[in-house]
Amino acid sequence: MSEFRFQQFTIVQSKNPLKVGTDSMLLGSFIDPTPSEIALDIGAGTGVLTLMVLQKNPNLIVDAVEIHEDAAAECAFNVEQSPWQDRVKVHALNYLEFNPNKQYDLIFSNPPFYLDGLKSGIESIDQAKHISHEMYEHFIRKTARLLREDGRFYVIVPWTQLAYLLNLAKDNKLYLQEKITIHATEEKLNTRVILMFTKRNEPIIQSEFTIRLTSGGYTPEYISLTKQYHATDLTPKH
């Protein structure tokens, strides 16, 4: 059985097309859920983002939406084994068919990485990794509709999708409030970007973050950011 152990919970990921990775660790660590009451996890996968957010705010109520049935079942299992099983409802369906009678003050997503890219032919993997321009537009439009006026929407995307996503957000009256540019190393720049949108047009907070040292180990800033989650100490041993 494939597992990823955190300090306060364990992620079983045998049936999920996507395993716990650096993108999830970054996004889950950067999300600030403290002022929120009700949250939506779009494309929940293993449930890792939901559980990372609940660790920081155990009073949240979360709807976790996952299209892949086996992944949704595994997500539900991970939630049930966690300390916050009574705070989450897992919905095994397409997000575009999810029609709650409420809005959310916190929405987060690690969406498919490839935008109209060459697919593998394996349905579960393609659902997890690929998205069309049309589906992306529906995704942003629906998210804007489900976000409360005082809500916040967090997302992590490849740097190459930044301009496209910013235009989609603008068309749907979502305003960029925070931008974190992610560098894989000091030499491999602009690999990812974490964005936080609101419905308020306010000054943008911008920062940069590097994951690994050129020598291969994790940077002190990555170790510090994720230390509340990792079950193992990432600090280099001398």
Q: For the segment 202-221, what is each residue's pLDDT rounded down to a tens digit?
A: 999 999 999 999 988 999 99
Listing DSSP states for 66-94 in one string gives -SSHHHHHHHHHHHHTSTTGGGEEEE-S-
Confidence of residue 118 (pLDDT cuts 50, 70, 90): very low
Domain 3-226: which CATH number of 3.40.50.10470, 3.40.50.150, 1.10.3720.10, 3.30.70.20: 3.40.50.150
Q: For the segment 79-99, what is each residue's pLDDT rounded down to a tens digit?
A: 999 999 999 999 999 999 999
Residue ranges in 149-204 assigned as alpha helix (H): 162-171
Confidence of residue 124 (pLDDT cuts 50, 70, 90): very low
Parse the chain into domains and list their residue ranges: 3-226
State residue 122's pLDDT score: 46
Q: Which are the contacts of 23, defined by CB distance < 8 A and separation ≥ 6?
A: 110, 156, 192
pLDDT at 163 over 60: yes
Using the structure block, give the residue that is written with the tokens 């306010």: 202
